[in-house]
Amino acid sequence: MALPNVETPKKESLLRRIKRYYRVRRKKRMNRTLMGDIGPFLLLIVFGLFSAYPLVFTFANAFKPLDEIFMFPPRLFPRNWTMDNFGDLFNLIGDSWVPFSRYLFNTVFITVAGTAGHVLFASMAAYPLAKHNFPGKTLLFTLIVYSLMFAPQVTLIPNYMIMSFLGNIPGVKFIDSHSAIILPAFAFPLGLYLMKNFMQTVPTTLLEAARIDGAGEYRIFWQIVMPLVKPAWLTLIILLFQQLWTTDGGTFIYTEHLKPLSYALGQVVAAGIARTGSAAAVAAIMLIVPVTIFIINQSRMIQTMSHSGMK
């Protein structure tokens, strides 16, 4: 008789405590259930692992000795860290008639030139679109928005024809040169779109004050607007960098010593199981650079994205 009497209040009190906790929380915030708290966390953990595991694994593979790469069952982190794979990679590509440094240089050159040009040109074009009215403005921006709506693959083939046609002009070379990748990158629509939206946040009064002080439009753009939109051009840098860093030259570049790193990676991976170690090293190199740049600039990128909306 006494036992249940003792036990029931205990049980109830625990239950009541949980209930009370949630009743209190409900007053503070929107009502929440226990599942509503645990569910999202589980979801984030499961999908976070799905998202991160392959990347961490790829990266860690580059530092494993060969026997550990082939070890079964596979382990996430290497037991004996080694840089051998990178050494193998340099030897491997050093033996080929195009040195590894050449591929790396090509990728770095394409990426840096393309990104720099894009940031500059897109900002220059974004400033008038964001802060001034002139005939043709609406039409131009509408064209930019529509061009966001189809992928660059649509223009792949005519682009090739345009480039080979322009190659007839003396001194102009597109096909089989880096400019085939770099120049189109200057005019990607996404960068201009984001930059224009971000520039709209620059206060117009500031520009007017500068104008009264006698600054010309070019000076206003370069000395006042550009420093204020730093988050936006860092975002453009990330987006372009990531896109250009992974380009393999596609159909545009066919001379071996002009090919970028991504192409070399494809070759190493295609060579099959014998080069697994080197392939892991290349994958790590390809992976770490864009991710690092994003790590440094995440907050600025999100700041830019808060103005990405479409009306």
User: Taking CB under 8 A as the criterion, which residues in 68-127 touch another protein?
Assistant: 70, 72-74, 121-122, 124-125, 127
- Give yes or no for residue 246 binding another protein (CB under 8 A): yes
| Nearest CB to another protein, comparing residues 239 and 258 | 239
- Give yes or no for residue 200 binding another protein (CB under 8 A): no
- Give yes or no for residue 172 binding another protein (CB under 8 A): no
| Nearest CB to another protein, comparing residues 90 and 222 | 222
Give me the least distance between CB of 282 and another protein, in Å please. 9
Stretch 37-56 residues interacting with another protein (CB under 8 A)? 40, 43-44, 47-48, 50-52, 54-55
Among 68, 221, 237, 278, binds another protein (CB under 8 A): 221
* Residue type for position 6: V
Give me the least distance between CB of 78 and another protein, in Å please. 16
| Nearest CB to another protein, comparing residues 7 and 294 | 294
| Nearest CB to another protein, comparing residues 91 and 155 | 155
Instruction: From 3-11, 96-104, 108-116, 290-298, give the range in contact with another protein by CB under 8 A.
Output: 290-298
| Nearest CB to another protein, comparing residues 14 and 157 | 157
- Give yes or no for residue 227 binding another protein (CB under 8 A): no
- Give yes or no for residue 295 binding another protein (CB under 8 A): yes
- Give yes or no for residue 148 binding another protein (CB under 8 A): yes
Among 91, 216, 223, 230, binds another protein (CB under 8 A): 216
| Nearest CB to another protein, comparing residues 7 and 63 | 63
- Give yes or no for residue 210 binding another protein (CB under 8 A): no
Burial of 295 (0-12, 13-18, 19+ CB in 10 A): exposed
Sign of CA dihedral 196, 198, 199, 200: positive
- Give yes or no for residue 254 binding another protein (CB under 8 A): no
Instruction: From 3-11, 83-91, 92-100, 286-294, give the range in contact with another protein by CB under 8 A.
Output: 286-294
What would the DSSP string read from start to end of the chain?
-HHHHHHHHHHHHHHHHHHHHHHHHHHHSS---HHHHHHHHHHHHHHHHHHHHHHHHHHHHTTS-HHHHT-SS--SS-SS---HHHHHHHHHHHHSSS-HHHHHHHHHHHHHHHHHHHHHHHHHHHHHHHH---TTHHHHHHHHHHHHTS-GGGGHHHHHHHHHHHTTSTT---TTSTHHHHHHHHT-HHHHHHHHHHHTTS-HHHHHHHHHTT--HHHIIIIIIHHHTHHHHHHHHHHHHHHHHT---TTT--SGGG--HHHHHHHHHHT-GGGHHHHHHHHHHHHHHHHHHHHHHHHHHHHHHTT----
Distance CA 165, CA 283 (A): 36
- CA-closest candidate to residue 279, choices 288, 260, 266: 266
Give me the least distance between CB of 164 and another protein, in Å please. 9
- Distance in angstroms between the alpha carbons of the first and the last residue of the chain: 71
Among 65, 99, 128, 167, binds another protein (CB under 8 A): 128
| Nearest CB to another protein, comparing residues 108 and 124 | 124
Give me the least distance between CB of 206 and another protein, in Å please. 17
